[in-house]
Amino acid sequence: MKRFINQTSSSNSSSSSQRNHKSMSSLFLSNPRPFRPPLNPKSNPHLVFPLRTLNFSANSTPPPPPNPNTKPPTIKEPPFPPPQVEAATAEKKSFAVATGELFLGIASRVLRRGNSIVNGAEESGSYFWERRKEGIATVVEDPVQPEVVWEQREKDVEAEKSMKTVTSPGFSFSAAGLLFPYHLGVAKLLIEKGYIKETTPLAGSSAGAIVCAVVASGASMQEALDATKILAQDCRLSGTAFRLGAVLREILEKFLPDDAHIRCNGRVRVAVTQILWRPRGLLVDQFDSKEDLINAVFTSSFIPGYLAPRPATLFRNKLCIDGGLTLFMPPTSAAQTVRVCAFPASRLGLQGIGISPDCNPENRATPRQLFSWALEPAEDDILDKLFEQGYTDAAMWAQENPVGELVRDDSSSIGSSLAQ
């Protein structure tokens, strides 16, 4: 991985026109034709993910009488509700899902177009100088996605250096929309088994950033799940599109402790996308107050036109949008980062993923179902199921990565992402 401090690489400028960002939106919307709301997924040829139904088996003959000496089998992974349940709510969900897809597609195309334009200042070698004037101290190529370049301000670099001890690996949580419960389930297992400690660096985009703030604040994952259900119930009753942002902000203000920003400083990286003067990813992990932290995770979750009826939001006097559009799974400050994705990584072509539904692929929802639930909150029983599956997937990963062999205190990795 290349790290640039007070310098500009000409190779970055020459290849900027060829960058193809693997963002949350581009994973699902790559069709350049005009958007058409998917009224009937089975007949719409523009859907990236074909509609797939889950297979369920049942015996046609009645089961034999139970043996009192035999313990009944334990079902660890009860399947999601059959597709008929989803079909019954498809009409209700269509507006929010269609709206989210529309604005994700528009934002993705704008970002790709902005990054395909080679700026004259960058060609002349003044790119980093311009960034320095805005307080940018570091420009780094992502180790897993080399086409992604992210930046850090001087204050954020100093906040990371102020940490006396860093526990490696760090954990990065992907953008996930309203699939909060999956990340919460993963975090619950990682905390219980000692993978995540108070000195473990965290990073996230969109929903992943919110989960990181919740983990760092010391709250229980079950309490966070209960708060998620309150948000989901509000959206189911009054609508999701255009008002989710206000509901989310209210929940965060009530749920996070007053010193949440202090607990997150130097430890939690929040990814946002700045759109002027050209789209770029920015990692923020220095927060002046609880309100500043909430503004950061709100901005990281801001799908243009969906979270609120406006194309962008102001964060520290800069126009910004969802961090997942440029940094789907941002790196942490630890020497090693384990990346957590709420979507099946193999089906999306993502590389370098540690924990995802691929860890235990049986009885899973389709990517189409997951994406719908990411834009319109599912019923509480589905949220509980996502929480359980996140916990189970993390447990499967932990079996192959024993905590005693993986976790270590590594002060030498403070403020560094070079070895990720």
Q: Which of 420, 339, 398, 384 is nearest to 176 (CA)?
A: 339
Which tokens go with 189? 């297992």
pLDDT of 26 higher than 80: no
Q: In whole angstroms, what is the distance from residue 167 CA to residue 23 CA?
A: 28
- pLDDT of the residue at 117: 38
Q: Which of 302, 275, 323 is nearest to 175 (CA)?
A: 323
- pLDDT of the residue at 198: 94
Q: In whole angstroms, what is the distance from residue 41 CA to residue 48 CA?
A: 10
Q: What's CA 286's distance to the chain center, in Å?
A: 19
Q: What's CA 220's distance to the chain center, in Å?
A: 19
Q: Which of 146, 164, 162, 166 is nearest to 154 (CA)?
A: 162
Contact (CB, 8 A) for 227 and 255: yes
pLDDT of 129 higher than 50: no
Domain residue ranges in the chain? 148-398
Q: pTM score > 0.75 for this model?
A: no
64 Cβ contact partners less than 8 Å away, ≥ 6 residues apart: none
- Per the document, the length of the chain is 420
Q: Using 50, 70 and 90 to split pLDDT, how confident is the model at 295? A: very high
Contact (CB, 8 A) for 392 and 76: yes
Which tokens go with 60? 């046609």
Contact (CB, 8 A) for 138 and 3: yes
299 Cβ contact partners less than 8 Å away, ≥ 6 residues apart: 272, 313, 315, 320, 321, 323
Determine the average pLDDT of the residues in 14-39: 41
- pLDDT of the residue at 192: 97
Q: In whole angstroms, what is the distance from residue 48 CA to residue 32 CA?
A: 12
Contact (CB, 8 A) for 169 and 337: yes
More confident residue, 104 or 405: 405
Which tokens go with 361? 């692929």
Determine the average pLDDT of the residues in 4-20: 41
Helices (H) and strands (E) in the chain, counts: 17, 12
Contact (CB, 8 A) for 357 and 344: yes
- Pairing assessment for the beta strands 408-409 and 318-322 based on DSSP bridges: unpaired
Q: Which residue matches tokens 């072509």?
A: 349
pLDDT of 418 higher than 50: no
Q: Using 50, 70 and 90 to split pLDDT, how confident is the model at 349? A: confident
Q: Using 50, 70 and 90 to split pLDDT, how confident is the model at 163? A: confident
Q: By percentage, how much of the chain surpasses pLDDT 70?
A: 61
Main-chain dihedrals φ then ψ at residue 94, nearest 5 degrees = -60, -40
Residue-wise pLDDT tens digits, 269-284 = 999 998 876 678 889 9
Q: What SS3 state is found at 242? A: coil
Annotated active-site positions, please? 206, 322
- pLDDT of the residue at 102: 57
Determine the average pLDDT of the residues in 343-361: 87
Q: What's CA 300's distance to the chain center, in Å?
A: 9
Residue-wise pLDDT tens digits, 196-228 = 999 999 999 999 999 999 999 999 999 999 999
* H runs (alpha helix) in 355-406: 367-375, 380-400, 403-406
Rg (CA), the chain: 21
DSSP string for residues in 285-332 = ---SSHHHHHHHHHHHT--TTTSSSSS-EEETTEEEEEGGGT-SS---
- pLDDT of the residue at 44: 42
DSSP string for residues in 134-182 = TTEEEEEE-SS-TT-EEEEEHHHHHHHHT-S--EESEEEE---TT-HHH
Sheet strands (E) in 223-299: 268-274, 280-284
